[in-house]
Chains A and B, each alone.
Chain A
């Protein structure tokens, strides 16, 4: 006997292909953006999201029915999906954008993800949990998860748990207990499923995909769609006028010893407090 459908969870993990976090980026001479001809990899916060989904399955075993990863981006984003599949996700969905398309905004992404969630539901795979990064390290906006939580469901939106550092799912009760990081401390929330969780760095330590898993991932299915298949428009509402270099800091001044350092501090008006 299969357990009742209500106890099986489907998880969706949106991932983004970003310039690798260790790359020192350069603004292009036209000042329209940065030189993208550099190493790319999965947004680090999304790796944490994939890892958390896989760990939830390891903890909850058969209660997790599927882990699907989705990306919205140019053709090369499918590499990012393969990475996520090698980490343990079951299937991928690539909403493909042309290379020339402008970078979509969080609201457009959230609408696309909502359309994906509706489509999953129609196809009998109602999603219970979306786990995603708290921000992408390229645009540093940190909005998509919250926007998706607002749009998902019928009207009032669903629960959101942002900057999660711990996630526990109680399948029987249909709730997630999430510890989130806030300025100056932490907060504990009890969220009814479905929920959108966004990951903080401290949620987990993502695993490296092993070679056998990378080979296996090649056989896992990746479906391709376009924004128009989902009836969404990703045209940005904000105009990027310019991307420029930040003001250069004239650093590099070294001092020989502590005495010189103290002198330099005094010169700047910095002394010990009483």
Chain B
């Protein structure tokens, strides 16, 4: 009994530390490509602001990449500070190279209470790796959040391909809450000349014996708006029959609407469209003003990626296709007649 007593005291002291939880301070991963900040990261800043505390950004990249990005982050509203670390190894955002920097930054009681990023492919690869190193859980693809003064954060996130919404709480006992945000659920942080963002350089953490070497990145080139953030999307499905027909049918409609092109998994698997254009549970999530589904039946997995769109238009010749259950304007017609007619009539 007597011997146990000092132990109890230590535990109490720990509990007290939890109770007086620090005010939230989010660290937001600012991803960039070709000198621009990714739109998803701008949404992540807005999500981080909802925690109600300080928001610090972090930019990681090569000597060639970082300066141009810093010019832009200086003007971002909602950020107080931006940390930046530069190393040739950081150019391709390989998790094995970047993770040690974050581990160092986040160990030994850092000021940060949250690590936030967009639910992008590179952040999805990186964040869980850092979290596991720090023995922390992570929450993926958050659509809303609320921070409690006691130190717990409650998130909502879609599960089962968006067919259910889970509300999960990360209790105060989790010192740093890792989460990725669904870009379409948060507005993008804006730029302003009046913004006062302090820039701070970080020492890179060099990985001497990396198990991974980045060989090449291939980005599909397109003049169209980027699918994930476009305000209008025209998607084609299996009914388009071939790549030629897909292009010939979908492109004029996308052109006349100034829309990005998307595709169902069936269309991608059949080679009608590039992988990166897939909309759905395993592809991109989009929530544009207008989503036009052409020859798409509307499988659960496809609906998961587009049902938050403001106005859904479906053109399909099967009146019983599930897509009509979510469409605001459904046209039961042969797409080969209806789409060209629609293009013509829109032009008038």
Contact = CB atoms under 8 A, between A and B. Distances in A.
Contacts of A22: 300
Contacts of A34: 160, 164
B147 interface: no
A136 B94 CA distance: 23
Interface residues on chain A, size class: 35 or more
A238 B281 CA distance: 23
A183 B7 CA distance: 51
A195 interface: yes
B212 A159 contact: yes
Interface of B: 33, 92, 94-96, 99-100, 120-122, 124-133, 135-141, 154, 157-171, 173-174, 207, 211-220, 226, 228, 232, 256-258, 265, 268-269, 275-276, 281-282, 284, 289-290, 300-301, 307, 311-313, 324-333, 338, 341-342, 345-347
Contacts of B167: 240-244
Contacts of B166: 240, 242-243
Given A189-B214, A191-B211, A238-B169, A270 B289 contact: yes
Given A143-B138, A157-B129, 16 more contacts: A19-B160, A24-B163, A106-B138, A143-B128, A182-B122, A183-B122, A185-B276, A186-B275, A190-B215, A191-B211, A202-B268, A243-B166, A246-B158, A246-B164, A262-B342, A265-B329
Interface in A103-155: 105-107, 110, 134-135, 137-144, 146-151
A148 B95 CA distance: 13
Contacts of A134: 282
Contacts of B157: 140
Contacts of A181: 121, 275-276
Secondary structure of the B contact surface, majority rule? mixed
A272 B257 contact: yes
A182 B217 contact: yes
Q: Which of B281, B282, B328 has the most CB of A within 10 A?
A: B282
Interface stretch (A68-76, A89-97, A220-228, A251-259): A251-259
A160 interface: yes
A94 to B, nearest CB: 23
A22 B301 CA distance: 9
B282 A270 contact: no
B329 A255 contact: yes
Contacts of B345: 258-259, 262
Contacts of A184: 33, 219-220, 226, 276
29 contacts: A19-B160, A21-B301, A24-B300, A34-B160, A34-B164, A107-B138, A140-B140, A140-B159, A142-B124, A157-B99, A165-B275, A185-B217, A185-B276, A187-B92, A187-B214, A187-B216, A238-B137, A240-B166, A241-B167, A242-B167, A243-B164, A243-B165, A246-B162, A255-B331, A258-B333, A258-B345, A261-B331, A268-B290, A268-B311
B319 to A, nearest CB: 8
A182 B212 contact: no
B215 to A, nearest CB: 4
A148 B140 CA distance: 17
A148 B133 CA distance: 10
Q: Which of A141, A241, A245, A253 has the most CB of B within 10 A?
A: A141
Given A137-B160, A253-B327, A272 B256 contact: yes
Nearest to A241: B167
Q: Closest 6 interchain pairs by CB?
A: A273-B258, A147-B132, A146-B128, A159-B211, A143-B128, A150-B132
Contacts of A182: 121-122, 217
B327 A185 contact: no
Nearest to B92: A187
